[in-house]
Structure 1
Amino acid sequence: MTTAHRLAAAALGVTASGAAAWGWGGRTLGRRVTTAEGRAAWLRLLSAPVERASGKLWEGTTSASQALPEALRRPRLLAVHDWTAGLLAYRAELTSYLTDPICSPDPILRAPVELPDTWWTGLRTGLATIASTPTDRIAVRQVWIDRSVPEFTGMEPPQIDHWTAAHGDLHWANLFGPRFAVLDFEGWGLAPASYDAVVLHTYSLLVPDVAERVRSELEDFINSPQGRAAELVVLTEILQTISRGDNRELQVPVQRRLAALREQ
């Protein structure tokens, strides 16, 4: 991956100048780079077996660049470079560089985060903008809900009647502050309405004050029948990841939220 990243930088005429940022399971590698004009940018490399180099995650950044409104603050896609080497395929995505820091180095928020009121306004506006974007991409499927909700929660699966576009992975490591912006749209697509709001709330549960602020700011998204259905789906997803050894810190607060949903 490091060699392939150097090849991608050479092909796109940029020079790597930042520390390596590895994605989940080493599937992606990103670094800050400098363009020939001296501007900062970000070069993200994806790899996959040739036969799997297509579909939702592979094409997410390019499709989001084409579909999402310009008003949504996010890194802008500048160039894409694809190639294969043996049994592996590579995609390099060059995007603009945002100077704001990310809100958390980890998807799960572990410490309080101080954000201005303008950030929360940007979050509400951003979620509404994403939700109103037309798409035929799928982030969550009803067939998965029907199978997985009973398996991991013992509850009846909700039948979703309102699907909207969602970021699909709206945790704190994908958000910038103090100026609101969002990154990593590789998994975006249709999901139960209010899905993104509930994902952010769930990843906030270890910091109760922030979790309560999320619920308060996104009350219209979360505190509704649609929001409760979306939360059951998201809690199911988290419980599935816990069963695989990930997100174990969320086990207790997720079970508490699940108990609250049962009561409701």
Structure 2
Amino acid sequence: MDVRLVRPSVVYGEHGATEGFRTSNDTWVRIERRQRWRISSAVWVGLEAAATIRGVKKPEWFQSATWIDPARNVVWRADEVELITAPVVGDLATAATLPDSWWSGLRESLAALGAHPTERVGMSQTHLTKRITEVFGDIETVVDEWATAHTDLHWGNLSTEGHVIDWEDWGVAPRGHDAATLWQSALPDPQMAARVQREFADDLDTRSGRLARLLQCANAIRAAARRGSPTPLSEPARAAAETLLAELGNA
């Protein structure tokens, strides 16, 4: 790839399988490894495939390289992308300081993304139905509107300048899925959750948007059940779910 990694700049991924480095070319290289039998073809090329999307503020993709490591039975992938120097939003305190222009920019990015045609699947009807019914029982979950989504839109994947990062899992999902994911991450702060709902009301107040939010509530409640105790997300998710179920006619 003809770049030199600036080793002290390393940032490790949450699960220890990725590293990111600033380079001698003032770009960013993300290195990932996976066991050979755990490679999902869609996820593996997600960042590269996202280079076809227009109208979304995101790091530009330049090149990639992949290779097999037989000794450890893993496959490596390195992607060189545009270096984004703006920090990620990261938390609700920082989110509360974002200007109106940041929100309007994100709406424009998600609208452009939603209109982008793709055969990639970000969230299937089967998965949504399974997760919702596990928590809320046998209710009607058929989604009537679909759009292309990032599928992992939380404060750690948004920069303070409005860049959307981490494009491994993007694909078609229920309309409002991205806004619902951001809304779920804002639930510990009622004012911020209300802000997200207000900014993306056009999507979140549709049937598909309500189902997308109900899915996020189910995910938060399931996570607390596995943990064996409430989380900052689970209790507000329970309250929000009651309202959503009523709005969907399942009270």
Normalised TM-score (structure 1): 0.85
Distance 1:47 1:124 in 2: 33
Aligned CA RMSD, in angstroms, stands at: 2.1
Q: Which residue of 1 aligns with 2:234?
A: 251
Q: Amino acid of the residue matched to residue 88 of structure 1?
A: V
Q: Deviations over 1:116-169 (max 9, x none)?
A: 111111011111011000001011111122322111222514101211100010
8 A Cα contact 1:44 1:92, kept in partner: yes
Q: Amino acid of the residue matched to residue 85 of structure 1?
A: D
Q: Which residue of 1 aligns with 2:24?
A: 34
Q: Deviations over 1:28-67 (max 9, x none)?
A: 22122222xxxx211111111112234222111011112x
Give 3-state SS (helix, strand or coil) of 1:144's partner.
helix
Distance 1:56 1:85 in 2: 21
Q: Amino acid of the residue matched to residue 148 of structure 2?
A: A
8 A Cα contact 1:167 1:196, kept in partner: yes
Q: Deviations over 1:61-104 (max 9, x none)?
A: 011112x11x3211111110111112010101111111211101
Distance 2:40 2:95 in 1: 38
Name structure 1 gaps, 5 residues minimum: 1-10
Measured after TM superposition, the shift of residue 188 of structure 1 is 0.2
Measured after TM superposition, the shift of residue 245 of structure 1 is 4.1
Give 3-state SS (helix, strand or coil) of 2:152's partner.
coil
Distance 1:174 1:29 in 2: 15
2:191 is equivalent to residue 209 of structure 1 = yes
1:133-144 aligned at under 5 Å gives the runs 133-144=116-127
Normalised TM-score (structure 2): 0.89
Q: Determine which of 186, 198, 210 is the counterpart of 1:228.
A: 210
Distance 2:223 2:43 in 1: 18
Distance 2:224 2:4 in 1: 39
1:125-140 aligned at under 5 Å gives the runs 125-140=108-123
8 A Cα contact 2:144 2:207, kept in partner: no
Name structure 2 gaps, 5 residues minimum: none
Q: Which residue of 2 aligns with 1:58?
A: 44
